[in-house]
Amino acid sequence: MANRMDARTVFSEVLLDRIREDRYPSYTEMAIFEQTAPMEMAPEYLEVLIEKVASQRPSPTMLRHISQLLNSVRA
């Protein structure tokens, strides 16, 4: 990895893949992703979360993550 930003992006991609694959992603993984991921990854993350909400009964935690993400993107 060439620099800190590359490492951050690779780490975020790994977390996003785990979130995408897990039927019920962990709160910790979502929180860490939200704290570390580059803003360019926000649309893909939002898409993953919305797909989960559409395909299953969403948890209140999942809904809060989506709401917070929408509020931060709108700001």
Question: Per-residue pLDDT tens for 36-74?
Answer: 999 899 999 999 999 988 888 888 888 888 888 888 766
Domain boundaries of the chain, sorted by first residue: 4-74
Q: Which of 15, 25, 29, 31 is nearest to 65 (CA)?
A: 31
The whole-number pLDDT of residue 2 equals 60
Task: Compute the average pLDDT of residues 12-30.
Answer: 93
Residue 55 phi, psi (nearest 5): -100, -5
Give per-residue burial for 24-63: e unless 16+ CB within 10 Å, then b. ebeeeebeebbeebeeebeeebeebbeebeeeeebeeebe
The whole-number pLDDT of residue 68 equals 86
pTM: 0.81
